[in-house]
Structure 1
Amino acid sequence: MKKGYKQLLAEANAVVKTVPVEEAKALRGQDDVQFVDIRDPRELERDGIIEGAMSAPRGMLEFWVDPESPYYKPALGDGKKTLVLYCASAWRSALAAKTLTDMGMTNVSHLEGGFTAWKNAGGAVVKKEK
């Protein structure tokens, strides 16, 4: 293996903006910010979701942000809002934010410590309906 996950994470975190939980709590609900939960739908059903977040499973993210994709979602790809990606522990979100940055997006960041850190800091969480 030429690169393991640790090197990929280090490379991603070197270029992607990481938003500390307390700063993220202040951003939640702002009109120009969209939280994006990239966890598996089963994780959302089991653990909840940050209030106001949009669910975009990691496997679909690149397709949902690309205007040329048949799966394009303007709420993610139109560049009008700062996207704050998160997963359970900030590994998938770091890699996903790096990929979106590589695609040319400049409005992308990710949540330090992920959903786990958010929840532990008392961030607003709601139950995700099926």
Structure 2
Amino acid sequence: MPQTITTGVKALVDDANTRIRTLSIDEAKAMHGRDDVTFVDLRDPREREREGKIPGAFSCTRGMLEFWIDPASPYYKPQFGEDKTFVFFCAGGWRSALAADTAQKMGLKPVAHIDGGFGAWKKTGGPVET
């Protein structure tokens, strides 16, 4: 008997988006490079290699996020202990919505994510390094 999925990914993302701050590309560009903001790239290394990256962004694959945020975890990264605004992004804005929601639930704040993700950033001329 096949599995019955009762909540799809679209519903999960839509639900997350009701609780988190979503930045337009213009808002994100205005925040880029500020000392009080950390951009967090959730894409995997192959995506970053293929598409390029936002200069100065901190890379944290989606699968390690919770472990890197929690100071009690053996995988904790001190970047998540800094008093900054964390701006999450992925390729298109779905993983980053889920990640921002999870980070916020864990107590990280303030957090936001970029509407349309890296794809929209690149398409609108945001700075990219290869």
TM-score normalised to structure 1 length: 0.94
Equivalent of 2:123 in 108, 120, 125: 120
Alpha-carbon contact 2:86-2:109 (below 8 Å) kept: no
Alpha-carbon contact 1:51-1:126 (below 8 Å) kept: yes
CA drift of 1:79 comes to: 4.4
CA drift of 1:89 comes to: 0.3
CA drift of 1:101 comes to: 1.3
CA drift of 1:105 comes to: 1.8
CA drift of 1:104 comes to: 1.8
- Residue correspondences, number: 126
- Tell me the alpha carbon deviations over residues 23-82 of structure 1, each in whole angstroms, 9 at most, x when there is no partner: 111100000000000001100011111011010011101111110011111112x14110
CA drift of 1:109 comes to: 0.6
Q: What RMSD, in angstroms, separates the aligned Cα atoms of the two structures?
A: 0.9
Q: Tell me, what secondary structure is at the counterpart of 1:43?
A: helix
Structure 1: tracts of 5 or more residues without a match: none
Please name the residue that 2:27 is paired with: 23
Distance 1:2 1:112 in 2: 26
- Tell me the alpha carbon deviations over residues 82-121 of structure 1, each in whole angstroms, 9 at most, x when there is no partner: 0000000000000111111111222111011000000011
Alpha-carbon contact 1:79-1:105 (below 8 Å) kept: no
Please name the residue that 2:96 is paired with: 93
Structure 2: tracts of 5 or more residues without a match: none
Q: Tell me, what secondary structure is at the counterpart of 2:18?
A: helix
Identity of aligned residues (%): 56
Alpha-carbon contact 1:84-1:108 (below 8 Å) kept: yes
Alpha-carbon contact 2:40-2:57 (below 8 Å) kept: yes
Q: Runs in 1 of length 4+ with deviation above 6 angstroms? A: none
Alpha-carbon contact 1:79-1:107 (below 8 Å) kept: no
1:82 is the counterpart of 2:85: yes
Please name the residue that 1:54 is paired with: 58
